[in-house]
Amino acid sequence: MAGTRGGTAFRDFVAELQRRNVIRAAALYTAAAWLLVQVATQVFPFFNIPNWVVRWIVVAALIGFPIWLVLAWMYELSPEGLRRESEDPRAERPERDARRMNAWIVGIACLAVAVLVSGLLVDRRGSEVAPAPTPTAIPEKSIAVLPLRNESGDLQDRYFSDGLSEDLTTELARFGGLKVISRDSAFRFRDSTADSATIGAQLGVATLLQGSVRRQGDALRISATLVRAADGSVIWSERFDRPYKELFATQDEIAHAVASSLKAKWLPGDGAAAQGDRPPSGNLDAYQAFLRGAADFRSGDPARARKAVDEFAEAIRIDPAYAAAYAGTAIAWSVIKAGATDAKSIADAAAHAREASARALALNADLALAHMVRATVLFNVDANLAEAVEAARRAYELAPHDGRVLATLATVTAAQGDAERAVQYAREATVLDPLAPQRYETLGDDLALLGSFDEAEAAYRKAEALSPNRYRYYNFLTQLAVLRGDAKKALEYAEREKSEPWDVISRAYALQIGTDRAAADAAIEAVERACDGTCPAIVAALYALRGDADRAFEWMYKQIDVDRGDGMGILSDPILSRLRSDPRYADFAKKLSQGA
């Protein structure tokens, strides 16, 4: 009897819930809350609404559910408004109220499903892929080697102190778990008066290695100090007075002392294979010649690239097995080729670069620099994409924490059409080389290819802030405005580009999406005159902007005839990449990258 009475009471309770429409109210609330959450998760990101707002909506919906049920029990929604629920169980609620609530439930549920399904079906590439990494705390396992002060009394000897600094950077990068900032960023603090905390914050490291070097005749003195960036406190410090002939042994001693100090506190063990610029014979004269060549090459002066070739040649004469010197020769010839204007000079430079890069790799197959340079030559000289990617990947395996290697890998990966992965590599390069403008230009290019135009603009503006006098800055912004379809902004940026011939090119880009067809035609002719037949790829992009695919492909093929290597940029051009869906694109890409 007790079980029967209990069952009857439960059925009466359920019947009362149904009579008061509490069950329907619960269903209506659930459907409405689900719809609200779907809208929040699908729409809010487009307006940069913080994620905590979405979490607040979910929590509020959960808390409100029992309150809603209590109100549904106590009140009823009638045509006359909200009124107290009748306590008389025999009082009949009009059936149309129940039917109206059923319709609301079904309608809201259908709308929520539509929002959910549309969110799954919409192609979000170029808008949500590869988001910018959020700022993180500076890892304790991190270091930057600042340029050692040259105290030899002769500025001409600075190449020597710089070489020692770079060698220490390379040596420290061997240890696993240690973030080591690349040379280009660390060297921005040469002769800086900034305190250690400021330098550490800008480079994103917890420790700094600083010091000085003096060479007088056969005597060598190196002072080195490892400091904690946050407060400048000394972790380790020592002065080394050695004969010059013990240079390499002294460098190793310093690097191992620093590594030991860090290991005792942070490092779990050794990492990648050893890399470096030292000659295999250990000949210091060869090493000096190499350092002079490297200094000439890094000057950024095209005229000094030929001087660098001569210095590298001297290093090779002294030590014929000097792989790093051959790699330096190859990259110097690549720069000379890029600046050449006549066919013979271009062909000669290409041949020298090809020969030197192959020799470097033959001499030392475990040298990351040799693989990186080989990738550069294969890409920019031979237009051999498949082998360039293979070489870049091998360089990355050997030196995964080298910003230059990561940037090279990002470039060839973008040419493959994998913009998302290219952005990943480019971002890693900026972490290891945070103050090098060229790293942000690479990141901007890859983000533009991905379709993340806002992030691309931020990257370009970062590059400009780091090096205000670099060329093409407003050309980059012009192209972004064109990709966004903002003709007015594009023309505004184009008018601010002052470097030649990018001023003419930028204006042509902007005019192609405007309404003045005559001006657009004249702009293309101006580009052809300014480039003097050397930039068919740019003309192709201009026709692509106009929607003239036939003319675009015509000029793309002309680029193959002019210079395959210069044409490799077509494969990662965000404007010309719009032609990838055209059946002719695959054939063009195959002919372009089949090699010289």
Mean pLDDT, 10 residues at a time, over the chain (596 residues)?
Answer: 55 65 71 68 51 64 72 58 49 52 51 49 40 61 90 75 86 79 90 91 93 87 92 90 89 82 48 73 93 85 86 96 96 86 85 95 94 94 93 94 94 94 96 93 95 94 87 90 93 91 92 92 90 86 93 93 86 93 92 70
pLDDT of residue 178: 79
Rounded alpha-carbon distances, angstroms, from residue 466 to 18, 169, 206, 438, 469 = 69, 22, 22, 9, 9
Q: What is the CATH number assigned to the segment(s) 142-270?
A: 3.40.50.10610
Find the helix packing angle between 473-484 and 487-496, rounded to 10°: 170
pLDDT of residue 154: 67
Contacts of residue 40, defined as CB under 8 A and 6 or more positions apart, other chains included, come to: 53, 54, 57
Give the tokens for residue 478: 């012009």
Torsion sign, CA atoms 88, 94, 99, 101:
negative
**How far is the CA of 396 from the CAs of 154, 271, 371, 474, 541, in angstroms?**
37, 13, 9, 32, 32
First to last CA, the chain: 96
Give kind and range of the element (H or E) at residue 517: helix 517-531
Q: What is the pLDDT of residue 124?
A: 40
The whole-angstrom separation of Cα 104 and Cα 28 is 7
Residue 104: what pLDDT? 53
Q: Which of 216, 195, 98 is nearest to 153 (CA)?
A: 216
What's the pLDDT at 42?
55
| The two structure tokens encoding residue 187 | 């060297």
Query: % helix / strand / coil in the chain, to the nearest 5?
Result: 65, 10, 25
Give the pLDDT confidence score for residue 39 in this predicted structure.
65
* φ, ψ (nearest 5 deg) of residue 142: -150, 145
361 is written with which tokens? 């790799």
| Token couple for 134 | 């959020």
Q: What is the pLDDT of residue 48?
A: 44
Residue 420 class from Cβ within 10 Å (0-12 exposed, 13-18 middle, 19+ buried)? Answer: middle
Q: Do 424 and 456 meet the contact criterion of CB atoms below 8 Å apart? A: no
Numbered ranges of CATH 3.40.50.10610 in the chain: 142-270
Is the peptide bond prior to 131 cis by the omega test (within 30 degrees of 0)?
no
What's residue 520's pLDDT? 92
Transcribe 164-231 into DSSP letters: HHHHHHHHHTTEET-EE--HHHHGGGTT----HHHHHHHHT-SEEEEEEEEEETTEEEEEEEEEETTT
Distance of alpha carbon 263 from alpha carbon 560, whole angstroms = 52
The Cα 346–Cα 343 span in angstroms is: 5
